[in-house]
Amino acid sequence: MSDQNLFNELNEFNSTTDEMNTNKENMANTKGISETEYLKDLNPAQLEAALCTEGPLLILAGAGAGKTKTVTYRILHLIKTGVSPRAILAITFTNKAAREMRERVTSLLNSDQNFNLPMHSMSSHDYGDRGDRPFVSTFHSLGVSILKESGHKLGIPRHFVIYDRGDSKSAVKDALVELGHDPKQIDPNKILGIISREKGNFTSREEFEAKSGDDYMGSIAAEVWRKYDAKLDKDKALDFDDLLFKTAHLLSTHPEIREYYQKKWRYVHVDEYQDTNQVQYRIVQLLVGKNENLAVVGDGDQSIYGWRGADIKNILKFEEDYPTAKMVLLEQNYRSTQTILTAANKVIEKNIYRKKKNLFTKNEAGEKIKIYTAYDETDEANFIANTVREMLDKGTIDASGNKKIIKPDDIAVLYRANFQSRAIEDSFLRKNIAYTLLGTKFFERKEVKDVISYIRLALNPDSMVDVKRVINSPVRGIGKTTLLKVLEGKEDELPNAAKEKIRSFRSLLAAIEQKTKTDKASEVVKYVITMSGMEKSFKDEDEQERLENVRELVTLALKYDSYVQPEGIEKMLEEAALASDQDTIDEEKDKDKKPGVKLMTVHASKGLEFEYVFVTGLEQDLFPSGRTRDEAISPESSEEERRLFYVALTRAKKRLFLSHANVRTIFGNKQVTLPSEFLADIDEDLIEEEKPVTGIKSIFIDF
């Protein structure tokens, strides 16, 4: 967007603000804000939050307290009282959460027969949202939208490539080699982690270089970062962290851009505020205008991502940042039994760095929490498998005395570390129990990444990371020597046969680019799969699963066919790049085609709920992790393991099983363990020692 157009937009916003305010006052006067029949489904605390529409608002929402419902009804109320939908921004952390919120808002608006969107004279200029509706997105998608439209101010082209974690790791590894370091001696992941953490702290490369000083690893990271940035620039690419860092930098250094967005989004909502890092915190501050119409929703007791930069202080000091802020507590839980909530309340109240709240429910008291003491991880896994098998075979009796079937999807097994799943999987296989491991990313499969790379490269021929990925995939006789010449810009030195192969490859990319301009997203994907030779290669090599995966990508692309081209394919590439563990279409495939007990880490379970939950490995130095004894960890971070256990407990709706082993094999060595300190925090009248289904109790004898 040109500077003149930007200022025209600002003037138009200014000219329509008074009109919208007048519209709001007229609607309030004629209908009466007190007439809130559409809010009748909210409890008193939720209603208080929904009606608080002006100024800063902190909604402390306990687990299962209906925070998404509260935010969506608040958005509905804003629109009902005359606020333009286009003036509302809601930011979440995952595409799945954004999609759910967007669908809920749309459903509420569509279900209100008396509702009409307020008319106003705003132009149809599009900043990522389409039509007259609130902008609901993740932080990263918001960054993509802003940078695509205004990133030229920082020299960022509209069709920039988004590096995924694999791309970034490969670039860092190359940088290490170029600098004379051995990637086997210096882990590229560690260097990438340092760079990522600093970007998340809103620290520039130059600032990091200045402070790294004589620190050995820091000085290497500073050198690599410089090379890494050069590779990104050459590829016209940004990594995940850049999407936020560059957005914050743009808003910080260009007042006219910042003012545009402050005028555009006059009501800002942020979900899971406890999970924000410093750069996200900064973006929120920069987007909020002078009226400070900011509503943040979160729960400090569920802040479990400190290891990746989340800062619990952001939510704890919200009222310091915004002195006029109002705080609303959502404490009524709609998910769990009172027994489970009482246990969770007792566990979390030991933490000091928190805002106090006490979850309660109108649900039944429920069964006591079952605790099983196993001999080792095999015994623990067998107990879980036997119990699950019995539950699936016998079902349960509901409150009316009727027998109810228990489905595998109703059950989840949670663990602190991924290695714990092996023993559980073995036991489930022996008991013929269907299960699925949450976390396999559809978009990380090689064949899927290849299709995406073809399209990315067609739109951005400078993306060397995509050249390396697909120039010989499927095999077309282009070897490493030829590839090196291409990367070095020395194609004229190649023999004629090699030159012809490169010309053919470039012709394919040109054809794909043309398709993105004229064809629907699903047709573009089909074209790539066929014309690249992938389909034939998979058929010839009998790679049926890989063929099914790329065809599944066509199915996924169908939802972008309604966009005007090339916007549809651009949107697909964006969401593919930003997909998280819980956003992949694998999850839906698992639910629809492969129902099973869900096995996952506690971190992966956040935001989910299940009828029956097993929390395993409750031993000192496993859960809580031994790292909590590290003196370098801040007091706030040292409480994170307890918050993680709190999250685990509150995933359960009806029944909760806790287990620990007296002996556990870690890295091939059997180690005697102690029960987790968390178990002692649960009142004895809430728990019941569980006997094994087999009737045989394992005992540990120390010789």
Residue that the structure tokens 């802003």 belong to: 146
Residue identified by tokens 């200022």 is 7
Query: Is the per-residue pLDDT at 591 higher than 80?
Result: no
The set of long-range contacts for 377-381, using a CB threshold of 8 Å and a minimum separation of 24, is 377/420, 377/423, 377/617, 377/661, 377/664, 377/665, 378/423, 378/426, 378/427, 379/661, 379/692, 379/698, 380/423, 380/616, 380/617, 380/659, 380/660, 380/661, 381/423, 381/424, 381/426, 381/427
Q: What is the CA radius of gyration of the chain?
A: 27
Q: Is 603's pLDDT higher than 50?
A: yes
Residue 115's pLDDT band, with cuts at 50, 70 and 90, is low
Say if CB 108 and CB 80 are below 8 A apart: no
Q: Is the pLDDT of residue 643 over 80?
A: yes
Higher pLDDT, 510 or 185: 510
Rounded CA separation 454/523 (Å)? 14
| Beta-carbon count within 10 A of 186 CB | 18
What angle do helix axes 255-264 and 240-253 make, rounded to 10 degrees? 100
The answer on pLDDT for 202 being more than 50 is: yes
Q: Which residues pair with 656 in a beta bridge?
A: 613
pLDDT for the residue 588? 41
pLDDT in tens, 62-75: 999 999 999 999 99
397 compared with 138, residue with greater pLDDT: 138
Catalytically annotated residues: 67-68, 271-272, 302, 651
The two tokens of residue 527 are: 């074209």
- What are the E-state strand segments in 15-152? 57-61, 88-92, 135-138
Output the pTM of the full model: 0.78
**8 Å CB contact between 20 and 118:** yes
Going by C-alpha positions, the residue among 643, 652, 582 that lies closest to residue 275 is 643
pLDDT at 47: 95
pLDDT tens per residue, range 305-357: 988 889 999 999 999 999 999 999 999 999 999 999 999 999 999 999 999 99
Q: Is 70 exceeded by the pLDDT of residue 121?
A: no
Handedness of CA 314, 315, 317, 318 (dihedral sign): positive
The answer to which of 188-192, 309-313, 440-444, 515-519 has the lowest mean pLDDT is 440-444
Q: Answer yes or no: are the C-beta atoms of 562 and 547 closer than 8 Å.
A: no
Residue the block writes with tokens 């279900």? 111
pLDDT band at 24 (very low <50, low <70, confident <90, very high): very low
The torsion angles phi and psi of 423, rounded to 5 degrees, stand at -65, -40
Helix (H) or strand (E) holding 96: helix 95-111
> From start to end of 115-261, where are the E strands?
135-138, 161-163, 237-239
